[in-house]
Amino acid sequence: MTNPSATQADAMITLTHVEKWYGAFKALHDVTMSVHQGEKIVLCGPSGSGKSTLIRCINSLEPHQKGEIRVDGIVLGPNAKAIDAIRREVGMVFQQFNLFPHLTVLENCMLAPMRALGLAKSEAESRARALLERVKIAEQAAKYPAQLSGGQQQRVAIARALCMQPKVMLFDEPTSALDPEMVKEVLDTMIGLAEDGMTMICVTHEMGFARQVADRVIFMADGAIVEQAPPAEFFSNPAHERTRKFLGEILNH
């Protein structure tokens, strides 16, 4: 299993004393963490605790003001080249899917490989079809996003991100906008991805998923990491009062 105090060398992502403000509001407070290659992290915490902000800083959708973020050896800074390089290696799945409504499922998956990686159309298409197959939605390739259910849309969003062949996948509450009966199909897709060895950081309240898949659960509150532990330990023996309270709230309903 994994060791939370990973060395720099085998870490895919490291955050060192990262701080972020929105104006006067401090959204991230001295966050230091690292994620190994192939490691699956579940990030949880009450709303407003900074978990989404944290993963959005990793691919620079939000700028951070202090500290260092390093992905696969690339240091994220104001340098646009580094941002480009990191975004090509880091895939992201959003709560609201954010599929492009004017493009078919297939075109959604082909756009970035063609425009950001310069792939030929035929190559982008075969890659897209293979990944749509992998998320079990190949038969919908010619449809538009609005013609799919939420669960199908989110699986397409996962395939779209995978088409860039990322080394890391970030999930920002991927099942929160879904009707309950569609949560499983998306989680199953994510479990499959985890089993294939993808490095993943998932912001989610799906504690069943955390138990099954996570190597480590990180609990955040008020912009800071409160504690992190392998799921068995995290759920059975949380160290902090704040964590116990949170788990009590989300597990007892």
Partner 1 sequence: MDYQLDFTPVIDGLPDLLLGCLGTFLLAICGMLLAIVIGIGGVILRTSPYKAARWAMIGFVEVIRNTPFLVQIFFLYFALPLAGLRLDPTPTAIIALGINGGAYAIEIIRGGVQSISKGQMEAGLALGLHKAQVFRFIILKPALRAIFPSLTSQFVLLTLTSSVASAISAYELTAVSQRIESDSFRSFEVYFTVTAFYLVISWLMMRLFAFFSARYFAYPVK
Q: Which tokens in the block code for residue 140?
A: 């919908």
Task: Give the chain's count of helices (H) and strands (E).
Answer: 9, 10
Q: Which of 94, 209, 234, 246 binds partner 1 (CB under 8 A)?
A: 94
Chain CA centroid to CA 44, Å? 12
Cβ proximity to partner 1, 150 vs 223, nearer residue? 150
User: Residues 6 or more apart from 120 whose CB is under 8 A from it?
Assistant: 114
Cβ proximity to partner 1, 91 vs 238, nearer residue? 91
Cα(250)–Cα(42) distance, rounded to whole angstroms?
15
Cβ proximity to partner 1, 81 vs 253, nearer residue? 81
- For partner 1, the binding residues in 99-128 under the rule CB under 8 A are 99-103, 111-112, 115-117
Residue 15 backbone phi and psi in degrees, to 5: -115, 130
Q: 39 with 2: CB under 8 angstroms?
A: yes
Show the binding pattern over residues 37-76: x = contacts partner 1 (CB under 8 A), - = does not.
Answer: ----------------------x-x---------------
Cβ proximity to partner 1, 74 vs 117, nearer residue? 117
Residues that bind partner 1 (CB under 8 A): 59, 61, 84, 87-88, 90-92, 94, 96, 98-103, 111-112, 115-117, 144, 146-147, 157, 160-161, 164
